[in-house]
Structure 1
Amino acid sequence: MEEVPQKRSKDRPEALADRVYHRLKNDIFDFRLMPGDRFSESEVAERMDVSRTPVRQALFRLEREGYVDVWFRSGWQVRQFDFAYFEELYDLRTVLECEAVKRLCHLPADQTAALLMPLTCFWIDEPRLEEGMAVSLHDEAFHIALVTAAGNSEMARIHRELTEKIRIIRRLDFTREDRISATYNEHARILRAILHQHSEEAQRILTSHIAVSRAEVRKITIHMLQQARLAPE
């Protein structure tokens, strides 16, 4: 990689570190780097055609977020999945989203309808998507939008951080066609219950919806992760 004079861009090192960070994070999320995989800073630097400095900065950032561990004598390792930790995150997710649903059901009906109109259009009115990764992204957006619509910005912030932490494992819930169909059906039922201000019913459907995803998490194995990595994009 051709060296760029420092005077041309003082932000160049930070930009490189940010690029390396996002590439490594995508490698972990897409299972090109598997739980337990070990690698060195030099290997990453060579593959990404950068120096070791931005690689090290990116890796320490990923370590703070809980995605990798550093072994000072033997390089870095993608952190093994802690399923108990993920289940705790799912518990918190359920609490936050049920509270959001409760608040939405107590708003004036016309206000709730306006807030949820984009979700209603996508999950009820429009033709269904079939590609799992695309549905996964829209699923995340659905749950984030529910919490955001409830109007508590701090609750929404915590929920977004939570969503980021479980994304790595949540994506596997959309590798099966039946789960894609179920997601559409359950989201539609949640929306209709909220729009009719049936708070308890909406919370019940939502809790069940999250519990099914949580059960899928319990069944994930390294073999399944390998299959997800090899699946066509």
Structure 2
Amino acid sequence: MTTTARSKGRPEALAEKVYQALKQDIFAFRLMPGDRFSENELAGRLAVSRTPVRQALFWLEHEGYVEVCFRSGWQIKPFDFNYFEELYDLRTVLEREAVRRLCALPPLACAETLTALKQFWIDAARLDDGNAVSTQDEGFHMALVAAAGNQEMARIHAGLTEKIRIIRRLDFTREERIEATYREHALILRAIFQQHTEEAQRILTDHIAVSKAEVRKITLHRLQQARLQPVE
């Protein structure tokens, strides 16, 4: 259920705030896969009653972030490697199609559509903060899909992008990944501008495959290290 869908029919704005706070805790590794907690613990920490906490947890359960533990409250769902890999497979399909559509646009129209991406990834000075680059990387791929002009495709892509955000954050804890991201994004954009569809799709596919490979490298130690790093 999307935030927009909830906001249309919910009277409890407080539950939305709890939901957003808990989701940010998950993405920032303050709540880690396998962590267990009770509704009372969360209510005390967030200074709210159990009712908005319970509603927020139901939303997060529906979205696959938490699960009920029999007789012991709730827990952040452990990593399901196959699930994340399937999300990456779907992401690849959607983004390859988006690139194909962008390459079919008139060159001038395509260049105008992707001006902001060119300015950031090719023209501007590079950032060296992993969290900031992670956010911009997410925006790059969402912008490509949105620019292709299919709103339903963009909606589905945005949903799966959020689900793999935690993997993306882990991927950008290494300096070499920041360098590679700038280089590969520039190559993708140049191939699109030149209407080299197969080349753009190949670079994009290889680019995503590197992130997908990180899924199988996730360990508790890496998560603990990420937890120690501040996330904006």
Q: 1:212 aligns with which of 207, 210, 213?
A: 210
Residue deviations 1:124-147 (CA, integer Å, cap 9, x gap): 000001111111111011000001
Matches within 5 A, 1:69-108: 69-108=67-106
Secondary structure of the equivalent of 1:69?
Answer: strand
Matches within 5 A, 1:118-129: 118-129=116-127
**Equivalent residues of 2:104, 2:195 under 8 A apart:** yes
**Equivalent residues of 2:170, 2:226 under 8 A apart:** yes
- Other-structure match for 2:161: 163
Following superposition, the deviation at residue 71 of structure 1 comes to 2.3
**Equivalent residues of 1:170, 1:217 under 8 A apart:** no
Following superposition, the deviation at residue 217 of structure 1 comes to 1.7
Mark the structure with the bigger radius of gyration: 1
Structure 2 unaligned runs (5+)? 1-8
Q: 1:228 aligns with which of 213, 222, 226?
A: 226
What is the CA–CA distance in structure 2 between the aligned matches of 1:88 and 1:193, rounded to whole Å? Answer: 27
What is the CA–CA distance in structure 2 between the aligned matches of 1:45 and 1:155, rounded to whole Å? Answer: 37
Residue deviations 1:15-56 (CA, integer Å, cap 9, x gap): 111111111111111111111111000000000111000000
Moved beyond 3 Å, runs of 4+: none
AA matched with 1:223: H
Q: 2:130 aligns with which of 118, 129, 132?
A: 132
Following superposition, the deviation at residue 79 of structure 1 comes to 0.3
What is the CA–CA distance in structure 2 between the aligned matches of 1:13 and 1:34, rounded to whole Å? Answer: 30
Residue deviations 1:38-97 (CA, integer Å, cap 9, x gap): 100000000011100000000111000000001252100110000100000000000000
- Other-structure match for 1:6: none
What is the CA–CA distance in structure 2 between the aligned matches of 1:213 and 1:153, rounded to whole Å? Answer: 25
**Equivalent residues of 1:13, 1:54 under 8 A apart:** no
What is the CA–CA distance in structure 2 between the aligned matches of 1:74 and 1:37, rounded to whole Å? Answer: 12
**Equivalent residues of 1:98, 1:207 under 8 A apart:** yes
Range with bigger deviation, 25-34 or 92-101 = 25-34
Following superposition, the deviation at residue 165 of structure 1 comes to 1.1
Structure 1 unaligned runs (5+)? 1-10
**Equivalent residues of 2:188, 2:204 under 8 A apart:** yes
Following superposition, the deviation at residue 232 of structure 1 comes to 3.8
- Other-structure match for 1:191: 189
What is the CA–CA distance in structure 2 between the aligned matches of 1:116 and 1:81, rounded to whole Å? Answer: 35
Question: Equivalent pairs: percent with the same residue?
Answer: 74
